[in-house]
Amino acid sequence: MPERSDGVSISVTVNGRRHQAEIEARLLLVDFIRENLNLTGTHIGCDTSFCGACTVLLNGSSVKSCTVLAVHAAGGEVTTVEGLAKDGELHPIQQAFKDHYALQCGYCTPGLLMSTCHLLARNPNPTEKDIRKAIAGNCCRCTGYQNIYDAIADAAARVSAARAAGTHGGRAAASAEAR
Amino acid sequence: MHPGPFRYHRAASLEEAAVMLQQLGEDARPLAGGQSLVPLMKLRLAGPTDLVDLAFVPGLSYVRHEDDGGEIRFGALTRHAEIADSGAAARFPILHDCAAGIGDVQVRNRGTIGGSVAEADPSGDWAPVLLTHVTEIRCVGPGGERTVALRDFILDAYTTALGPGELVREIVMRAPPHEDGERIGGAYIAAKRCAQVYATASAAVRLTLAGDVCRDVAIYLGAVALTPVEVTAAAEALRGRALTRETIEAAADAARSGGDPQPDMRGSAEYKCALATALVKRAIEIAARRARGEQVEVSHEYA
Ligand SMILES: Cc1cc2nc3c(=O)[nH]c(=O)nc-3n(C[C@H](O)[C@H](O)[C@H](O)COP(=O)(O)OP(=O)(O)OC[C@H]3O[C@@H](n4cnc5c(N)ncnc54)[C@H](O)[C@@H]3O)c2cc1C
Ligand code: FES
Ligand code: FES
């Protein structure tokens, strides 16, 4: 085994801002986001590809950032939970989670919000079954999920309304739409 | 946790990757979606000296199918999610059964069919499904290209016929030969404890019906042996017979002793055999309904 991984130069757009970085090839996307960019909203739960706390959008698709090498984001676009609110105003998905008490400790929430972005960008009108399937890769150890399902169903309506009105959150997430 | 150190090489083409891998030696490995390899590297169950990254090779992500529905070709880097959403999966619902149930959304957004086939995990979902049809793996290696039938490609658990430096380029799946007027239907059901884990047992069935008679059939079990198992005894119970409750139950019964499952955290050997029986029965019934033109939605079952 070599002493060190190769240094690789990457350019990644995160939440609309472009970053140029020299990284070790073995650096995981979640560590790049948390350690290099100091965006600590993306959480590490299990660190074994299970819990989904680390979910972010990579080129508009949800991925578990603990299971993606940062080099795979090279030239791409990443959206983290910090990319949702705008000018201090919560994204409608966040607001729906808040209004439905869809979080207790909040550890799972950033991942669930990003999975919801992925869902609503593709399916603006999900059934409860669609919602369950969409967040099957996100564990919550507090809420028992029912409030999360309710929040996502409501978020779908709010995102559609915002889209019709052309207000903030009308796009489920900037880069989720881009694809 | 993070992977141990490795040297990183980004390949511009599969041909280039094959040459790199051969030159770098046997401890170098290709990387596709990383959904098997990255977790293994984080746990230090894999420690390649070099990774040759295929993820940026252009033109390898596609699902192409001819209009007569005869042949479907998957580029090696095609993600499970793309296959689930493809026209081919709408036409061949067994593909949707498989692709839309692998892992969870996030895994399906990264993991590739080429990586799955190359990984040859005993519990992988693709192999049993593809084996019920006529499937070939198109490989590219330092010495050129060759095509290997999938049944000759999977040699053992985590072991394939790929030689040093050899890579999967394309997976080609065809409906088996059939007469005009015969109808083909397939179904795949995997029983899992939750979305994020591999199946406890799974069953893939492809039926060719001439009227009500089962003219031809293939039945494979997944996750109950080191490689997918063809249960020929179950197929024989159906071949040439009308599909009735009795013949379907006879086939399902024959599937009970088809596998050789290991007891583990997913369940005892007896449990897995019983599960396989139930899955085969349901998959036959759904395949038959689909062959008759019915739309039947199937998803992986969580127990
Ligand atoms: C939480 C979780 C749940 C999962 N659940 C399931 C499941 O239910 N069912 C299932 O089938 N799978 C499951 N998987 C595995 C998933 O399907 C992977 O996508 C797949 O096994 C490997 O594809 P990959 O593109 O990620 O390959 P990688 O991880 O990049 O590579 C896998 C192996 O194949 C080799 N390889 C990759 N591409 C090629 C190629 N073109 N030619 C030759 N060799 C190649 C690599 O060197 C490596 O040895 C799960 C994974 C995770 C993380
Ligand atoms: S921290 Fe990535 S899936 Fe749990
Ligand atoms: S709110 Fe605590 S884990 Fe979900």
How is chain A split into domains, by residue range?
A: 7-83, 92-178
Q: pLDDT averaged over chain B?
A: 95
Tell me how close the Cα of A63 comes to any Cα of chain B, in angstroms: 4
pTM over 0.90: yes
If asked whether residues B156 and B233 sit together in one domain, one would say: no
Supply the angle between the helices A146-165 and A92-99 in degrees, to the nearest 10.
Answer: 140
Same domain? B33 vs B107 = no
Residues B160 and B261 in one domain: no
Indicate whether B55 belongs to any domain. Answer: no
Percent of chain A with pLDDT over 70: 96
Residue B270, in any domain of the structure: yes
**Per-residue pLDDT averaged across A102-111, rounded?**
98
From B174, B205, B227, the end of a domain falls on B174
Considering CB atoms only, which of B2, B4, B105 is closest to A134?
B105
B32 Cα to chain A: minimum distance (Å) = 10
CATH code of domain A92-178? 1.10.150.120
Chain B, residues 125-154, CB within 8 A of chain A, namely none
pLDDT at residue B303, rounded to an integer: 62
Tell whether B274 and B193 lie within a shared domain.
yes
Same domain membership, residue B289 and residue B193:
yes
CATH number of A7-83: 3.10.20.30
Q: Are residues B67 and B45 in the same domain?
A: no
Q: Is any ligand 1 atom within 6 A of the Cβ of residue B170?
A: no
Note whether residue B167 is domain-resident: yes
Integer Cα distance of B249 and A145 in angstroms: 39
In percent, the amount of chain A with pLDDT more than 90 equals 88
Would residue B140 count as lying in a domain? Answer: yes
SS3 sequence of chain B: CCCCCCEEEECCCHHHHHHHHHHHCCCEEEECCCCCHHHHHHCCCCCCCEEEECCCCCCCCCEEECCCCCEEEEECCCEHHHHHCCHHHHHCHHHHHHHCCCCCHHHHHHCEHHHHHHHCCCCCCHHHHHHCCEEEEEEEECCEEEEEEHHHHEEECCEECCCCCCEEEEEEEECCCCCCCCEEEEEEEEEECCCCCCCCEEEEEEEEEECCEEEEEEEEEECCCCCCEECHHHHHHHCCCECCHHHHHHHHHHHCCCCCCCCECCECHHHHHHHHHHHHHHHHHHHHHHHCCCCCCCCCEEC
Q: Does residue B1 form part of some domain?
A: no
Query: B174, B195, B215 — which closes off a domain?
Result: B174
Same structural domain for residues B199 and B157? no
Q: Would residue B298 count as lying in a domain? A: yes
H or E, element range at A122:
helix A109-122
Task: Say yes or no: CB of residue A108 within 6 Å of ligand 3.
Answer: yes
Domain extent, residue B95, equals 63-174
Task: Judge if the beta carbon of residue A143 lies within 6 A of ligand 3.
Answer: yes
Question: Is 90 exceeded by the pLDDT of residue B152?
Answer: yes
Task: Check whether residue B36 and residue B68 sit in a common domain.
Answer: no
Please state the domain count of chain B. Answer: 3
CA B266/CA B264 separation, integer angstroms? 5
pLDDT tens digit string along B160-182? Answer: 999 999 999 999 999 998 998 99
Same domain, B165 and B227: no
Would you say residue B19 lies in a domain?
Answer: yes
Degrees (nearest 5) of the Cα angle B42, B44, B49?
95
B12 touches chain A (CB under 8 A): no
- At A26-67, the pLDDT tens digits run 999 999 999 999 999 999 999 999 999 999 999 999 999 999
Q: Is the pLDDT of residue A172 over 70?
A: no
If asked whether residues B31 and B136 sit together in one domain, one would say: no
pLDDT in tens, B232-269: 999 999 999 999 999 999 999 999 999 999 999 999 99
Q: Mean pLDDT over residues B282-297, rounded? A: 95
Do B20 and B81 fall within a single domain? no
Q: Which residues of B touch A133 (CB under 8 A)?
A: 105, 299
Band (pLDDT 50/70/90 cuts) for residue B299 is confident
Pocket test for ligand 3, best of A50, A81, A97, A104 (most atoms within 8 A of CB): A104
Residue at a domain's end among B174, B199, B214: B174
Residues B84, B15 share a domain: no
Ligand 1 centre distance from Cα of residue A26 (Å): 18
Is A107 a pocket residue for ligand 2 (Cβ < 6 Å)?
A: no
pLDDT tens-digit profile of B202-221? 999 999 999 999 999 999 99
